[in-house]
Amino acid sequence: MMAHEVEGTAPVHGAHEVDYLRAGAGVRSWLLTTDHKRIGLMFYVLVVLMLLLGGAFALVLRTELLTPGPTVISAAIYNRMFTLHGVVMVWLFMIPSIPNIFGNFVLPIMIGAKDLAFPRLNLASLYVYAIGAVVTLAATIAGGADTGWTFYPPYSTTTPAGVLPVVIGIFILGVSSIMTAVNFIATTHTMRARGISWGRVPLFVWAIYSTSIIMLLATPVLGLTILLVGLDHVYHFGVFDPTLGGDPVLFQHLFWFYSHPAVYIMVLPALGVISEVVCTFAQRQPASYWAIALSSFGIALIGFAGWGHHMFVAGMSELDAGIFGAFSMFIAIFSAIKVFTWVATLHRGAIQFNTPMLYFFWFLFLFVFGGMTGVAVATQSLDVHWHDTYFVVAHFHFIMVGGTLTAFLAAAHYWFPKMFGRAYSEPMGLLTSFGVFLGFILTFLPQFLAGNAGMPRRYYSYPAQYQWLNVLSTGGAYLLAGALVLALLNLLIALRWGPRASANPWRSRSYEWMTPPIPPEHNFPVTPVIDRGPYDYHLTEEEAHARVSTAR
């Protein structure tokens, strides 16, 4: 299955060093660790819990929507539930998922560093995240905001539900995001091993680096905006309240100025994972390294210019709508560069087909279709019909679940041997991957049609004509949930009973695979000097080894 000849017990690691999992025992050694790998694992546990929680909320919502009228919960609970689902999935799962777990774990190893630039800041970001999660969840469950994750005023400033505690929780989560972003940027700039020039940085690092720039620039805007909503709600400042001279549409501009780039905070790391997976399993350097690396930047920068497409029907002028529409389509061009380059990389590769690669295959369809429907909704006249309907719900779930979640799962399988030194069951991985795809399609394809037919989102009850589409969608949601739980179980079982994996089971040339099966605490006992690129598959294995030496 995964038993290939070992490429690297690479020359740079000390053979007898204790791996990071055994480097210290006891709760203290985990809770006070500054090891980026352990912090990554702790994020892993928390973030997966949040995924399960957000998924459970989604199932309640879908169950409620089985019938046009009330089914299992009341309208007031339903409104809190979809708010919870959105808040948990966006801020507690999607945004921290790939950067904080896999970014934390592999980014330093990928650039030959012993840790992140600010290890304590990294640990702090974990605790800030945990505090933010507790505050947000406690607030949403205790009082419960019923505004949706978008917090549009004046509803959010006048609702009787408790909005301020929730936004304080999200504010705290934003602080954690910023801490992580600063750390990744500083690390990428200053901690690269000798020989890893900008042209040799693995593509996943480029993706995380671009993501960090967006986080750093956009998150403060969200933090302050959402805090203003909270203060408006309690103290009636009137910034967004028209009865006090404020402007509710101003909020929408500020909110989407963050939240549209936030889509790329969620998607760019996924694109980075896919780049790694494609190159490794095709055993081929990317068709164009710079096209992939720089298109991440393109997305990060142009991503800031498209926010207005969320507001075409909010009274925007035709000129503004035209400009925002054009910028939005530009982003799709940058995404297309990546997609074409991945496919071109497969061409004449030597492709090993396994679970991460199957996830890549699903990703290809879901991301392209989700992205292209993004261009469709950026087309101004079509958006008028689609805006705030299930079409948009289906579109962003295609991008965020179809894109980010499949890439997350690809990463979970791809780096599993490196993180835990064991191999998961490949047949089970492939099977659950099929289940995820089928469940996903069954859940969200009917939602495109429901949106076309005119079903608005955030509807507790709906006209009976939409029912059978909703029944299909609910069935799909249960299938998707089941497949995800099985995929998780497959990995959990492998954690304990999986066969031992070699240091480099996929025969990758990327630098993180140079470490022992489970990396030691400081990754490399001596900082390596690397005289080759991360995708130099044109070298023989001996040559690839020979170009890594130890520095003195």
Partner 1 sequence: MNELLRQLLFLPEQRSSLAREIDGLHYFVILVTMGGAALITLIGGYFLIRYRRRPQDTPRPHPGAFARPALFLETVSLFALGFLFLTFWTIGTRQFADLRTAPDDALDVYVTGKQWMWKFGYPGGDSEISVLYVPAHRPVRLIMTSRDVIHSFYVPAFRIKQDVIPGRYTTAWFEANEPGAYPILCAEFCGTSHSEMRGQVIALDPVDYERWLAGGLASAPAFAQKAAAEAENELAEAEPTMPSRGELAAAKHGCLRCHTLDGTPHVGPSWAGLYRAVVPLESGGERVADEAYITESIMDPLAALHRGFPPVMPSYLGQIAPPDVAAIIELMKSIRDVPHGPDVPWDGGVPGSSVTPEGVTP
Q: By CB under 8 A, what part of segment 432-461 binds partner 1?
A: 449-450, 452-454, 456-461
Q: Which is nearer to partner 1, 131 or 430 (CB)?
A: 430
Annotate each residue in 268-287 with x if it binds partner 1 (CB under 8 A) or - if it does not, as one string: --------------xxxx-x
How far apart (Å, rounded) are the C-alpha atoms in residues 498 and 26? 24
In whole angstroms, the minimum distance from the beta carbon of 326 to partner 1 comes to: 6
Choose, by CB under 8 A, the member of 143, 148, 475, 482 that binds partner 1. 148
Alpha helices in 454-500 (DSSP H): 467-497
Nearest residue to 530 via CA among 8, 104, 6: 8
Q: Which is nearer to partner 1, 34 or 71 (CB)?
A: 71
CA angle 453, 458, 459 (to 5 degrees): 65
26 lines the binding site for partner 1 (CB under 8 A): no
In whole angstroms, the minimum distance from the beta carbon of 123 to partner 1 comes to: 39
Q: Which is nearer to partner 1, 189 or 320 (CB)?
A: 320
How far apart (Å, rounded) are the C-alpha atoms in residues 13 and 356? 27
How far apart (Å, rounded) are the C-alpha atoms in residues 69 and 324? 38
In whole angstroms, the minimum distance from the beta carbon of 315 to partner 1 comes to: 5
In whole angstroms, the minimum distance from the beta carbon of 375 to partner 1 comes to: 6
297 lines the binding site for partner 1 (CB under 8 A): no
Evaluate the CA torsion angle 526, 529, 535, 537 in order and state its sign: negative
**529: part of which helix (H) or strand (E)?**
strand 528-530
DSSP state of 528: E
Q: Which is nearer to partner 1, 461 or 550 (CB)?
A: 461
373 lines the binding site for partner 1 (CB under 8 A): yes
Q: Which is nearer to partner 1, 99 or 371 (CB)?
A: 371
For 152-189, letters b (16+ CB in 10 Å) and e give bbbebbebebbbbbbbbbbbbbbbbbbbbbbbbbebbe
6 lines the binding site for partner 1 (CB under 8 A): no
Rounded alpha-carbon distances, angstroms, from residue 379 to 262, 317, 400, 525: 21, 14, 20, 54
In whole angstroms, the minimum distance from the beta carbon of 106 to partner 1 comes to: 23
296 lines the binding site for partner 1 (CB under 8 A): no
Stretch that binds partner 1, among 99-107, 109-117, 384-392, 416-424 (CB under 8 A): 384-392
473 lines the binding site for partner 1 (CB under 8 A): no
In whole angstroms, the minimum distance from the beta carbon of 156 to partner 1 comes to: 9
In whole angstroms, the minimum distance from the beta carbon of 181 to partner 1 comes to: 30
Choose, by CB under 8 A, the member of 59, 216, 301, 351 that binds partner 1. 351
Q: Which is nearer to partner 1, 457 or 522 (CB)?
A: 457
For residue 548, the SS3 value is strand
In whole angstroms, the minimum distance from the beta carbon of 446 to partner 1 comes to: 9
DSSP state of 204: H
389 lines the binding site for partner 1 (CB under 8 A): yes
User: Euclidean distance between the first and final Cα of the chain, in Å?
Assistant: 39
Q: Which of residues 495-514 bind partner 1 (CB under 8 A)?
A: 507
How far apart (Å, rounded) are the C-alpha atoms in residues 324 and 308? 5
CA angle 408, 411, 414 (to 5 degrees): 155
How far apart (Å, rounded) are the C-alpha atoms in residues 175 and 395? 29
Q: Which is nearer to partner 1, 59 or 313 (CB)?
A: 313
In whole angstroms, the minimum distance from the beta carbon of 381 to partner 1 comes to: 3
Q: Which of residues 69-128 bind partner 1 (CB under 8 A)?
A: 75-76, 79
Q: Which is nearer to partner 1, 423 or 450 (CB)?
A: 450
56 lines the binding site for partner 1 (CB under 8 A): no
Choose, by CB under 8 A, the member of 329, 428, 472, 526 that binds partner 1. 329
Nearest residue to 212 via CA among 288, 139, 117, 145: 117
In whole angstroms, the minimum distance from the beta carbon of 100 to partner 1 comes to: 29
The pair of three-digit structure tokens given for residue 40, joined into one six-digit string: 């990554």
How far apart (Å, rounded) are the C-alpha atoms in residues 80 and 146? 4
7 lines the binding site for partner 1 (CB under 8 A): yes
Nearest residue to 109 via CA among 231, 234, 19: 19
The angle, 0 to 180 degrees and rounded to 10, between the axes of the packed helices 289-302 and 318-346 is 160
531 lines the binding site for partner 1 (CB under 8 A): no
472 lines the binding site for partner 1 (CB under 8 A): no
In whole angstroms, the minimum distance from the beta carbon of 404 to partner 1 comes to: 17
11 lines the binding site for partner 1 (CB under 8 A): no
425 lines the binding site for partner 1 (CB under 8 A): no
Tokens 């040339």 correspond to 509
CA atoms within a 13 Å half-sphere pointing along the CA-CB vector of 522: 10
Q: Which of residues 216-255 bind partner 1 (CB under 8 A)?
A: 242-243, 247-249
Q: Which is nearer to partner 1, 45 or 343 (CB)?
A: 343
**Cis ω on the peptide bond leading into residue 154 (within 30° of 0)?**
yes
How far apart (Å, rounded) are the C-alpha atoms in residues 446 and 452? 10
Choose, by CB under 8 A, the member of 541, 547, 549, 551 that binds partner 1. 541
Other residues' Cβ atoms within 10 Å of the Cβ of residue 231: 15
Q: Which is nearer to partner 1, 204 or 460 (CB)?
A: 460
Choose, by CB under 8 A, the member of 25, 199, 497, 540 that binds partner 1. 540
In whole angstroms, the minimum distance from the beta carbon of 515 to partner 1 comes to: 20
Q: Which is nearer to partner 1, 7 or 512 (CB)?
A: 7
Choose, by CB under 8 A, the member of 35, 64, 115, 146 that binds partner 1. 146
CA atoms within a 13 Å half-sphere pointing along the CA-CB vector of 225: 23
The pair of three-digit structure tokens given for residue 332, joined into one six-digit string: 């799709």
364 lines the binding site for partner 1 (CB under 8 A): yes
Q: Which of residues 160-219 bind partner 1 (CB under 8 A)?
A: 160
